[in-house]
């Protein structure tokens, strides 16, 4: 199955396959397994259900690589709407939102300025709602500008979270720079097709890099957010937190909606902070293909669903 990872990641940016796949209704088969809906009402219902079981949440309005200013504006308004709804339903304190900068204008002309202004709007809406923002990381070509924008946002919104992808060669140094008091840092393995010149591609090497980065974050002064579904990494994360003398709540685990829900609840039952990443919206295709790349055994389910509708 690991041989399928790179082809699936390539398909995540295929316009032809996207056009065919996105004819599926979001409620069908494999899509609904990972994306609970397209509307604000649907995602709020899901967030309420998760939080009722003691889980915290991070909502992602799907979309990336936009080259349309109006689409970037629509994405910002969608975040403002979902944050207002979270506050209205009493869900904001245990929730946050995750934002991809290319969804709010980074790839446009003068994209860094546009993305920063739009991200500021979302951070302001989050503060008004009683919530926070984490800026998602994308492929390696955007790493520097993303970290620069996070730093700029933290001047006014110091609780803005950063994301580090452990498979990049540079990430251990980035973790050292970010492991400071008050710094929220989500550590994931990485979900983009990257060249060997910038990233580890061997699974074992990626695992080792993840542990090295996690050790740096746990020993630092920030708030590590351990984003993994790997049982070994969960166990290592717990052990590193204990070795660093961390109290419950000074770090957290994060998993994607639809993946290992029983494990999510188990962690909560053991007193761990567990946050579920909840994506929603019409632009689910790229997100779904990266999830399939992480778990290629689900590909047969997706293909069956696609064939049944075409």
CA distance 97 to 116: 16
pTM, whole model, 2 decimals?
Answer: 0.87
Q: Please indicate whether residue 231 or residue 304 has the higher confidence score (pLDDT).
A: 231
C-alpha 52/C-alpha 69 separation (Å) is: 37
- Active-site residues: which are they? 136, 186
Give DSSP secondary structure letters for 65-117: S---HHHHHHHHHHHHHHHHHHHHTT-STTEEEEE-GGGGTTTSTTHHHHHHH
3-state secondary structure of 62: coil
Per-residue pLDDT, averaged over 257-269, amounts to 94
Q: How high is the pLDDT of residue 296?
A: 55
Query: Rounded to an integer, what distance in angstroms lies between the CA atom of residue 105 and that of residue 112?
Result: 8
Question: Would you state the structure tokens that stand for residue 183, as one six-digit string?
Answer: 């710094």
pLDDT tier for residue 287 given thresholds of 50, 70 and 90: confident
What's the pLDDT band for 259 if we cut at 50, 70, 90?
confident
76-96: per-residue pLDDT in tens? 999 999 999 999 999 999 999
Collapsed DSSP state (helix, strand, coil) of residue 285: helix
Alpha-carbon gap, residue 185 to 41, rounded angstroms = 29
Q: What pLDDT digit, counting tens, does each position of 47-70 carry?
A: 999 999 999 999 999 988 899 999
Provide the token pair at 308.
């049944």
For the chain, the maximum distance between any two Cα atoms, rounded to a whole number of angstroms, is 55
Q: Which residue has the higher pLDDT, 289 or 71?
A: 71
Q: What is the pLDDT of residue 241?
A: 98
How far apart CA 191 and CA 49 sit, in angstroms, is 27
Q: What is the pLDDT, as a whole number, of residue 193?
A: 81
For 150-204, write each residue's pLDDT tens digit: 999 999 999 999 999 999 999 999 999 999 999 999 999 998 889 999 999 999 9
Share of the chain above pLDDT 90, in %: 76
CB distance 190 to 143 below 8 Å: no
- Residue 116 Cα to chain centre, angstroms: 19
């Amino acid at each position: 199955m690991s041989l399928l990872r790179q082809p699936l990641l390539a398909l995540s940016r295929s316009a032809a396959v996207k056009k065919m796949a996105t004819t599926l209704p979001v409620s069908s088969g494999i899509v609904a397994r990972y994306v609970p809906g397209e509307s604000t009402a649907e995602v709020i219902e899901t967030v309420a259900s998760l939080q009722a079981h003691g889980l915290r949440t991070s909502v992602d309005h799907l979309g990336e690589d936009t080259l349309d200013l109006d689409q970037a504006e629509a994405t910002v308004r969608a975040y403002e709407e979902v944050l207002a709804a979270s506050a209205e339903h009493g869900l904001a304190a245990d929730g946050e939102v995750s934002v991809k900068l290319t969804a709010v204008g980074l790839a446009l002309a003068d994209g860094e300025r546009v993305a920063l202004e739009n991200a500021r709007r979302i951070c302001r809406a989050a503060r008004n709602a009683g919530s926070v923002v984490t800026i998602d990381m994308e492929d390696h070509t955007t790493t520097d500008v993303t970290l620069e924008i996070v730093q700029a946002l933290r001047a006014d919104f110091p609780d803005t979270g950063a994301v580090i992808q452990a498979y990049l060669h540079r990430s251990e140094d980035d973790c050292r720079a970010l492991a400071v008091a008050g710094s929220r840092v989500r550590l994931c393995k990485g979900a983009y097709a990257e060249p060997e010149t910038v990233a580890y591609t061997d699974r074992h090497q990626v695992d080792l890099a993840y542990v090295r980065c996690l050790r740096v974050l746990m020993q630092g002064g920030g708030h590590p957010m351990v984003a993994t579904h790997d049982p070994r990494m969960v166990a290592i994360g717990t052990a590193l937190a204990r070795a660093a003398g961390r109290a419950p709540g000074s770090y957290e685990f994060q998993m994607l909606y639809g993946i290992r829900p029983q494990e999510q609840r188990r962690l909560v039952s053991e007193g761990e902070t567990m946050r579920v990443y909840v994506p929603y919206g019409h632009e689910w295709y790229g997100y779904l293909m990266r999830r399939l790349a992480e778990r290629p055994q689900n590909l047969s389910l997706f293909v069956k669903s696609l064939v049944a509708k075409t």
